[in-house]
Amino acid sequence: MTEYSVEAHGLTKYFEGFTAVDHVSLEVPAGSIYGVLGPNGAGKTTTLRMMLGIVDPDAGTSRLLGNHKPQSVRSRVGYLPEERGLYPGMKAREAIAFMGALRGLDWAEGRRRAAIFMAELGLERVIDEKIRKMSKGMAQMVQLIGSIIHAPDLIVLDEPFSGLDPVNQERLEMLVRRERERGATILFSTHVMAHAERLCDRIAIIARSARRFEGTVDQARALLPMQVRYTPRDAGGDVAASLPPGAERRGDDWHFAIRDDGVEPLLARITASGHGVAGLSITRPGLHDAFVHIVRQVDAGFAADARADAIEESAA
């Protein structure tokens, strides 16, 4: 058993002189749920395609399930590509069995498992519906089931939640958890943080073609300080003197961040100030905030480089 289901080192892809993926490395622990997060056009799909051997990298190497040749482990991998598509004339159950058969699953067994999956996901009423008659979201659920019907060791889902209604999103979350319980490794891309926050053991954030963060969701959240909203009971006098520098007044409330010295010293300072407490909330930033913070920092770096280039050009 390998320690990592996916090991990618320095994956790089150029498209017509543009660097779509720039030396991205990822290690996905076996049996984990791993999220590749990033804004539109960051390079997530291209990275996944390189790992799966669908797109040849211009540089870098990867191993899938311990193997350098992704094709040789094809039957142990389930993949939902970004571009969806099933044969429109097929019924849901047949479409699922067909996808399983492409990965070596016996057709009758595929039909049997399809019925179980669809019932578990509350989709039994469309089991004999032709794909062309289904809504886009329903067809996507069918394709999802089809991509994992052969019980793969590694499941790679490219933006699996996009286009699904909240109920189907929840069903998909359940499916992902269950597949992990079965022992599978799940790697999925998304730009919706809520799913990643609930599901992922580890995440990588890709922005502007490169990996900008790798770690747990908690580690990402800890990049930002806790946010405090404080409402003094007595707003007279110098309230700001007992608060950290940079505290901002908005109406009756004061807003500020705390990080290094924690909550207790703050409470002690507020108590000693005599301004009292009419309201106090301390919130840990979510993954959404951490993601936006990282992506904005990267964007700001690019903007500064572009300004420096422009100044250099005008001076020349």
Ligand X SMILES: Nc1ncnc2c1ncn2[C@@H]1O[C@H](COP(=O)(O)OP(=O)(O)OP(=O)(O)O)[C@@H](O)[C@H]1O
**Contact with ligand X (CB under 6 A): which of 20, 28, 142, 193?**
20
- Site map for ligand X, 172-211, x if CB under 6 A? -------------------x--------------------
Instruction: Answer whether 20's CB lies under 8 Å from 185's CB.
Output: no
Instruction: Answer whether 163's CB lies under 8 Å from 157's CB.
Output: no
Site for ligand X contains 38 (CB under 6 A): yes
Site for ligand X contains 15 (CB under 6 A): yes
**Contact with ligand X (CB under 6 A): which of 5, 12, 45, 147?**
45
Nearest to 217 by CA among 204, 202, 199: 202
Site for ligand X contains 302 (CB under 6 A): no
Alpha-helix runs per DSSP H in the chain: 44-51, 92-102, 107-120, 136-148, 166-182, 193-199, 217-221, 263-273, 287-315
CB of 40 to ligand X, least distance (A): 3
Site for ligand X contains 44 (CB under 6 A): yes
Report which secondary-structure segment, H or E, holds 250: strand 248-250
Q: Judged by CB under 6 A, which stretch of 42-50, 98-106, 234-242, 290-298 contacts ligand X? A: 42-50
For residue 16, give the amino acid letter: E
**Contact with ligand X (CB under 6 A): which of 28, 33, 37, 42?**
42
For CA atoms 157, 158, 164, 169, the dihedral sign is: positive
Q: Judged by CB under 6 A, which stretch of 37-45, 96-104, 261-269, 277-285 contacts ligand X? A: 37-45
Instruction: Answer whether 38's CB lies under 8 Å from 206's CB.
Output: yes
Q: Judged by CB under 6 A, which stretch of 41-49, 103-111, 132-140, 271-279 contacts ligand X? A: 41-49
